[in-house]
Amino acid sequence: MSRRALTLLVAGFLALALAVIGAMLPVPYVVLSPGPTENTIGDVKGKPVITISGRETYPTQGRLSLVTVAYQGGPDNRLDLITALRGWLDPTIAVVPEETLFPKSTSAEQVEEQNVQEMTDSQQSATAAALNALKIPIEKVVTVAQTDKGTPADGKLKPGDEITAVDGSGVGELGSVAASVQRHKPGEPVTFTVRRGDASTEVPVGTVAGKDGKARVGVQMRASYRFPFKVDISVGEVGGPSAGLMFSLGIYDKLTPGALTGGMSIAGTGTIDPAGNVGPIGGIEQKMVGARRAGATVFLTPAGNCAAAVKAAPSGLRLVRVETLDGAIKAIDSLRDRSGEVPSCPAA
């Protein structure tokens, strides 16, 4: 073999080796793909997604499915270049920068904790929205979200505690708790009355001076609700706030006679607040694909996602535009009874 041929052979081998090694190197991207769907009026692993105790419920049928996005990659399990390239070639998959899901200032564990908390908050809001739609009275309460490490409240107040009074005076809003604490001078104790489980107890907590010089105890609170009966929602490892609309519809369906869907397979997505307002979400393209694969023929689409949805809707999936829980219920009624117009996402 001539020296020229040998040089070309070695160069080609080195180029191939470098290409293979480069393809196996981790890249800071995340692959988003259609995730599983769960029927909110059905079961997951033999357990109802929605269980209502202390109130009459009604049998139903059809599907009201929440949709999810699965992801691959992340700071602790980075993709290789080949996997990312495959994703770029698949129209049902999105390849996005890692920071889209995992900001540099946030660890993977913190992202997971945030997703879990958002799911918990979403279930509370979804229940409140459904009961408000049914004109069932609910009570607003203040609960402990978490305490700041090393502060007087750390170890004394616990996440989930419902704060019913401060120094014997009842509270109903977040601001009233803070105002009651700040009436004290830093260093003076404050007595919280909390409902913990089924018991009510008084918890004395010291105070320290905050950055503004006012008394603080180091507790982070959130507005929550007490319902006149128990609503449990169980969907396994699904996180985030985007299933709120479908939870609300599932609760509404179980609390009203007849089948809301009339037997149809309906999927959808959207955040929801206690007033029933539906907000946009991420991953709409992958969620629609997952819904269609699961047999859905109707997809409830937040108005804010319509522009992206119409560009990527799979064949056979009808997009229904929703802005509120009430609007979603009316749209489903019209589809079921084949009466009246149903709002749709406008063509792009």
| Identity at 62, one-letter amino acid code | G
Q: Are 288 and 314 in contact (CB under 8 A)?
A: yes
Q: How far is CA 53 from the centre of its chain?
A: 24
The H or E element containing residue 133 is: helix 108-133
Report the alpha-carbon distance of residue 79 to residue 59 in Å, rounded.
45
Strand partners for 191: 204
Q: Which of 277, 260, 263 is nearest to 334 (CA)?
A: 260
Q: 208 pairs with which residues across the strands?
A: 216
CA-to-CA separations, 4 to 8, 11, 128, 129, 188, in angstroms, rounded: 6, 10, 78, 77, 87
What is the DSSP secondary-structure string of 265-277? EEEE--EE-TT-B
Q: Is 287 a catalytic residue?
A: yes
| Beta bridge partner(s), residue 344 | 320
Q: 229-232 long-range CB contacts below 8 Å, 24 or more apart? A: 229/52, 229/53, 229/54, 229/55, 230/51, 230/52, 230/53, 230/54, 231/50, 231/51, 231/52, 231/127, 232/50, 232/51, 232/52, 232/53
Q: Which amino acid type is present at position 299?
A: F
Catalytic choice (287, 330, 334, 339): 287
Which of the residues 33, 122, 242, 248 is marked catalytic? 242
Q: Are 231 and 50 contacting, i.e. CB atoms less than 8 angstroms apart?
A: yes
Q: Alpha helix locations (H) across 135-197?
A: 174-182
Tokens of 162: 């419902």
CB 178, CB 210: distance < 8 Å? no
Catalytic, 156? Answer no
Q: Which residues pair with 285 in a beta bridge?
A: none
Active site residues: 242, 287
